[in-house]
Amino acid sequence: MIVDLNMPTKPESKLNPEALRAQRQAIAAAQDNLLSELARTRYELTGTLITVPALGLKLGPDGLAILEHSDLVKKVTEDKSHPAIIDFGEEK
């Protein structure tokens, strides 16, 4: 899944070095906060971006339910290179 975070950003080309640093720190903090919300679920982080407020995740139904209700999440889309839902059950 690709998870777009619900936070305002500006194009980096429009930011001075201090504002650029602050925006990247805010993105990292929002990513960390979302991962904290998912802490009681089983998930795999497949990617983070430093310039865009988004994460790549593999997760099960419990994680999807958290994303659906999180104020931190703007949009969730399926990453076509990864399955949408991972079955975390035991192998047979």
Q: Model confidence over 66-82: pLDDT tens digits? A: 999 999 999 999 877 65
- Res. 83 pLDDT band, cuts 50 70 90: low
C-alpha span between 21 and 75 (Å, rounded): 24
- 7 φ/ψ angles, rounded to the nearest 5 degrees: -155, 145
56 pLDDT higher than 80 = yes
Say whether pLDDT at 91 is over 90: no
pLDDT above 70 covers a percentage of the chain that reads 87
